[in-house]
Amino acid sequence: MRVVEAFRAAYGASPQTVWHAPGRVNLIGEHTDYNDGFVLPFAVPWGVTAALTPRADGVVRLLSLQASGEPVTMATREESAGWTRYVVGVLAMLGDRVAGADIAIDGDVPQGAGLSSSAALEVAVASALNDVHGLGLTPMELALLSQRAENDFVGMPCGIMDQAASALSREGHALFLDCRSLGSRSIPLDLAAHGLSLLIIDTQVHHEHASGEYAKRRAECESAARKLGVPALRDVTDLAGALGLLQGDERKRTEHVVTESHRVEALVGLLRAGAVKEIGALLNASHLSLRNLFEVSSPELDVAVEAAVRGGARGARMTGGGFGGSAIALVPVERLEGVQESVSAAYAERRFRAPRFLPAVPSQGAHRVS
């Protein structure tokens, strides 16, 4: 394995453990996780592999096959910068339970596609540390720890979806997660059996203001919940009544979150009934709501969704935080080529950067590789 060879070359010994954690794509349930709602992501076939040996002296040495040069050596947590913060953040959250570590990282999550390469990195390192130190943390505890590293150390106020998907997903299944109770269930997702495929359309565009807008949306949702006197928007039971009490952006955000969380449950119901072909309408409804009410789409995402549906997709939506990244389209296998052509042509016509197409196959969550 490449990462093991790199580890040996840099540190002069074999790693004590090697863990892989995947990125994710979200089938439905967008911007619901930090509102205590439901989500339905699954792990993608790409991820991060971390080879690791603990050190007693508190020093962290870190090398990535995707970054050139010598390993970064950090004597204190404060020295971390850039991508190393995701790793050092996880170590920091484990506090006294760990000291330092020698780490080598290899990753193949398409960058900037919104497929949660950062969650994959956090969960791979957290899982490896849990293993070598015999901490006995559950996959959900590792996900929560990774989320805390991102919230408190990196400074991105994300919800639990990405880390939970990376830690808990099962091959061939989507992860139905209640973001309040943290109870989860794996839902079989055998698209091929229904002649369908889920296509990721990577817009290859990521807008600069994305993280600022994310924090703003989250604050708007929390403010709306306070005005409604509920702990989180998840608790709204009378949507019409709630909307009557709100105005402007907070009103729109609330309508999205409440309906989106119910769309997750509806979609899970269809999957359980074996009505996979019927989920397309919910994907389309989710996209319109994200575009018009939550206002996190982008011209590239809208064009991808419209052109995919025009080209024969049964439904399509933006996925992830928004403002670029990827869309997903549910496509009958015989229409795969037509859908790609339709999207590519629409992009060329608008002089957008050419999109990239990737097959979304529900894959295994974090696991030990050696």
Query: 3-class SS at 338?
Result: helix
CB closer to ligand GLA, 19 vs 214: 214
CB 111 within 8 A of CB 117: yes
CB of 218 to ligand GLA, least distance (A): 8
Q: Which two tokens stand for residue 167?
A: 């830690």
Close Cβ partners of 168 (under 8 Å, ≥ 6 residues apart): 139, 140, 143, 175, 177, 184, 365
CB closer to ligand GLA, 204 vs 340: 204
CB 165 within 8 A of CB 119: yes
CB of 143 to ligand GLA, least distance (A): 11
CB of 320 to ligand GLA, least distance (A): 5
CB closer to ligand GLA, 159 vs 362: 159
Q: Roughly what angle, to the nearest 10 degrees, separates helices 280-292 and 299-310?
A: 150
Task: Name the site residues for ligand GLA (rule: CB under 6 A).
Answer: 30-31, 33-34, 158-159, 161-162, 320-321
Close Cβ partners of 55 (under 8 Å, ≥ 6 residues apart): 61, 99, 100, 101, 102
CB closer to ligand GLA, 31 vs 61: 31
162 is catalytic: yes
CB of 359 to ligand GLA, least distance (A): 20
CB 265 within 8 A of CB 38: yes
Spot the catalytic one: 33, 36, 162, 202. Answer: 162
CB of 4 to ligand GLA, least distance (A): 30
CB closer to ligand GLA, 31 vs 335: 31
CA–CA separation, 332 and 87 (whole Å):
40
Angle at 304 between CA 303 and CA 305, to 5 degrees: 90
- Which active-site residues does the annotation give? 162
